[in-house]
Amino acid sequence: MSLFKKETVARKLPRHIAIIMDGNGRWAKKRSMPRSAGHVAGAKTFKNIARYCNKIGLEYLTVYAFSTENWKRPKDEVESIMNLLRDYLKDAENFKSDNIRVKFIGNLEPLADDIKELIKKDEDGSKDATGLNLNIAINYGGRDEITNAVKQIVKSGISAEDITEQTISDNLFTANMPDPDFIIRPSGEYRLSNYLIWQSAYAEYWFSDVLWPDFKPKHLEKAIDDFNHRNRRFGGV
């Protein structure tokens, strides 16, 4: 027997991964397809990656599906994303068998009534799941979320001296969740785009040129490997 036993160090999973699902439009353009086809492919990747995260035992996954700024896109593109959301929600039973708990974050008020009903059904139907906590950000904007939190705090009547960072966190859509410790953005863009701007204060970031529809579990594995080599000091030494 060798004196030098090979040590295998268990890899550390982030607790909460947040993904900006970017690059659907360019993926479609490269194939001379309409942008909506890119979103269809992106939605497939989303389901695949969510299931994979559940399989490896991740606690929280938050995906950016539609931002407060995305309403500026052409009407038919907005429609196509909303229809994908409808399809996903109607198909939510499939996800239930995966033991995934789903929550939607963002200002859901302006969404169509049928979507809001389906969202409620999906959240209620999956609330006892004990696997992955999946957050889907729809009509989400970090600044909008913080503004909303401030309004809630003022309305609660709390005195200014009693407001702490925790008070703000408790009034965000992500209240009671750990902050994302790992943010992934594919498609070669290096921006946060108003995503989880309060929560990501100490997150690690991972960027890749892969377009979201091409993003596979092997890319996530590479990202997690890289996360394991980061030295997180949280402002200490």
From 70, 83, 107, 194, the catalytic residue: 70
From the list 50, 65, 132, 172, which residue makes contact with ligand FPP (rule: CB under 6 A)? 65
42 binds ligand FPP (CB under 6 A): yes
Q: How open is the CA angle 9-179-20, to the nearest 5 degrees?
A: 90
Write b or e for each residue in 52-87: b if 16 or more Cβ atoms lie within 10 A of its Cβ, otherwise e: bbbeeebebbbbbbbbbebeeeeeebeebbbebbee
Element (H, E) at 182: strand 182-185
Token pair for residue 48? 């695949």
Cα–Cα nearest to 223, from 202, 208, 201: 208
CB of 168 to ligand FPP, least distance (A): 27
From the list 70, 107, 193, 194, which residue makes contact with ligand FPP (rule: CB under 6 A)? 70
26 binds ligand FPP (CB under 6 A): yes
Determine whether 133 is an active site residue: no
- How much is the CA Rg of the chain, to the nearest whole Å? 19
39 binds ligand FPP (CB under 6 A): yes
Determine whether 22 is an active site residue: yes
From the list 60, 88, 140, 215, which residue makes contact with ligand FPP (rule: CB under 6 A)? 88
Enumerate the active-site residues: 22, 70
> Which spans of this chain sit near ligand FPP (rule: CB under 6 A)?
21-26, 39, 42-43, 46, 65, 70, 81, 84-85, 88, 136, 187
